[in-house]
Structure 1
């Protein structure tokens, strides 16, 4: 329903409400007043001001039974969020849907009949009150744009559209962006911007929060797509429609990443397809969903030593349901991520990485080489999470890893004897890019 239908519904309701309120006042229902001081300080004057808003609230049950009430309420619900209007009237937001519509109708009548004692319908007062409502509603319905500096990424094209309202662009080429976001990097190269556009959705969490969530998913997807670290700057910018840019916190860690992921024009279709696939298959709950969130937290730590515990928690959540005391995670991860002739060596390195955590906790890590082992674990988990999200490994990673380890322990069969028809077992091992 558009604004024209809203105005028509409100006009009809306000006229009928004026008749009802005037009739109630004449029938003896008391209209409360307050005493207001005016005039000069040395010669104050006192006057009575009618509390029309309180009177309208007291008569809310009667007003809600008017034939034009429900059409007006439904028209407000169809428009979408009324939070800005209610906030501007100092009413707060009681709840979504009908509750907000009821509160908005009471506020609207209070604005139309402000300081009135006879509740005569005045077209000018109605127009003034409606313009206040329309301005707030139009702003809430306008498209919201959020701009964030994307650290660790550089573009081969001027602009890369990723779908779902998300675009990557060079700062120097995106003229709409605020000047602060377009400043060049220290080396003189242009900043890469992530632009998210969202329209308000009735009952949603709001365009700004939706944009923050979209940026977090974008960074998580890029981390799975490429081994180099990627992040958004802590400060972004938001605007409504063509309004002014306002700074917003993005709930992201400030970072200055040295390495740059170059997205060439030839890679753009592949990147779009990958991010779309990961987005569609994103788990909402369970071990994989928890592991993905913990993996993001690991990349927000200041050092390799601090991120180690997060990475080990990811590995244990996916591959060690028996608990860390079982010590089975290193072997299972190696089974999924290494060829048969390299699994023993990888298992030994991963066991050493597990032992490093204890040394760090006890403060005995002085002089130890930590970063290379954490980097290897990070890359193995990235590859594992990537393939799990894409659906290449199935849901039961533990059983898959154990079956590979069991196959390694079985004696070699006669290489000449063919396998029975339909009973071949093949596994595609994950090899992280070097």
Structure 2
């Protein structure tokens, strides 16, 4: 490790450029503080091949190959593609070098910084399970407290400097104004414990489903990303793009996520799996979410098609009976939906009706049975289905 530091210092002396970032630390009620943070990771990674060819690296790899835990650790952090030597070098040796240099603030050696970095590596190396975390910034939503959506999945406030700790350049990848405005202060966090040989979860897909569920529960102009940040055992693991449908912010007024609507979002998230076995429901969900980003006449067409896929040919009547109990409100909504069915533009009430209908169908979990009950109510053969109108 000392030899690698000496090599990197020579690189700087010979004209190598060590980039840096100004990391902003926002303090409520006080001025922002800025920290000068050298970007040692890209500097080291640019010289990885030359570091890999050094004699001290070869000797260290020979020792690591004799340690079974190191192989398990390297495979978990590097995946299945690299060779064993390459995985060990990238994840153990290069990772320890970068962690130590970041703790030192450059390449001036510090024994205490190395001891801390090595102790952290050792705890991770000999652990039986890997701790995976993915975090994506959120916009269009505020939350007074953390809200649990599912086991290991929550919305919470971003901690000061948590992304810059591993990625000093993270500020260039965050949404404009993130960390400064009330509706740009939360993150969506996914946590998972991984056993030996177990792959990390598909974080982009899981976070996109969570965004859809919260949009359904709150009508918030919610977006995540544009990228998500992954760590494994507290070490940087990767930066991946969020799926476009979740990363694009629809128009609308920011919304607050409280515990009640957070609970509804969690319920809807669990029920989204119903769409896997119900093609019309899947189509209705897709068309509704696409409508959030479109303007007329395309938005009205998506809303119309979503309701038709969800409730069938007589959707204006079925949706009216489903969503409204008061006769006057029922008449007004039926007029709006009938106009939409005839090819007119979707009114604000009609636009929101498709979201509300999707919520109730997902909560019922059996779309076909619900449609049958709605028809019975329309024919006077049964009572109106009891639904829990939560939005």
Please, what TM-score do these two structures have when normalized by structure 2?
0.57
Partner of 1:277: 267
Residue correspondence of structure 1 range 292-307 to structure 2 within 5 A: 292-299=285-292, 301-307=293-299
Structure 1 residues 199-348: aligned runs within 5 Å: 199-200=193-194, 206-207=199-200, 209=202, 211-244=203-236, 246-252=238-244, 253-255=247-249, 257=251, 259-263=253-257, 267-268=258-259, 270-282=260-272, 283=274, 284-286=276-278, 287-299=280-292, 301-320=293-312, 328-339=314-325, 340-348=327-335
The offset of 1:432, in angstroms, is: 7.6
1:198 paired to 2:192: yes
Q: Is the 8 A contact 1:330 1:351 kept in 2?
A: yes
Q: In the TM superposition, what is the alpha-carbon distance from 1:152 to its structure 2 partner?
A: 1.2
The higher-RCO structure (CA 8 Å, 6+ apart) is 2
> How far, CA to CA, are the matches of 1:140 and 1:246 in structure 2?
21
Is the 8 Å Cα contact of residues 138 and 225 (structure 2) preserved in structure 1? yes
Equivalent position SS for 1:312: helix
Cα RMSD after superposing both structures: 4.2
Asked whether the equivalents of residues 287 and 305 of structure 2 are also in contact (C-alpha less than 8 Å), the reply is yes
Match of 1:381 among 335, 354, 376: 354
Q: Which has the larger radius of gyration?
A: 1
Q: Secondary structure at 2:378's aligned position in 1? A: helix
1:155-170 equivalences under 5 Å are 155-157=143-145, 159-170=146-157
Cα-to-partner distance string for 1:23-75 (whole Å, 9 max, x where unaligned)? xxxxxxxxxxxxxxxxxxxxxxxxxxxxxxxxxxxxxxxxxxxxxxxxxxxx9
Q: Structure 1 residues 80 and 316 mapped into 2: Cα distance closer, same or farther (>3 Å)?
A: farther
The answer to whether structure 1 residue 89 and structure 2 residue 83 are counterparts is: yes
Contact residue 81 and residue 202 of structure 1 kept, 8 A? no
State the alpha-carbon separation in 2 of the partners of residues 148 and 427 from structure 1: 39
Shift of 1:249: 0.6
Contact 2:130-2:195 at 8 Å conserved across structures: no
Change (3 A) 1:150 1:317: same
Cα displacement (A) at 1:197 = 1.9
Residue 390 to residue 329, structure 1, CA distance change in 2 (3 Å): closer
- Superimposed CA distance per residue, residues 207-251 of structure 1 (whole angstroms, 9 cap, x where no aligned partner): 252x22221221122122113332213222223333237431111
SS of 1:228's equivalent in the other structure is: coil
Deviation (angstroms), 1:155: 1.7
After superposition, give the CA deviation of every residue in 1:322-358 in whole Å (9 maximum; x if it has no partner).
xxxxx5222222222233444444333212223447x
CA distance 1:80–1:140, shift in 2 (3 Å): farther
Aligned residues: 274
Unpaired stretches in structure 1, ≥5 consecutive residues:
1-74, 92-133, 321-326, 358-369, 411-423
Residue of structure 1 equivalent to 2:40: none
Q: CA deviation at 1:83?
A: 9.4
3-state SS of paired residue (2:352)? helix
Instruction: Classify the secondary structure of the residue corresponding to 2:235.
Output: coil
**d(CA) in 2 for partners of 1:308, 1:203:** 48
| Cα distance change of structure 1 residues 182 and 231 upon mapping to structure 2, 3 Å threshold | closer
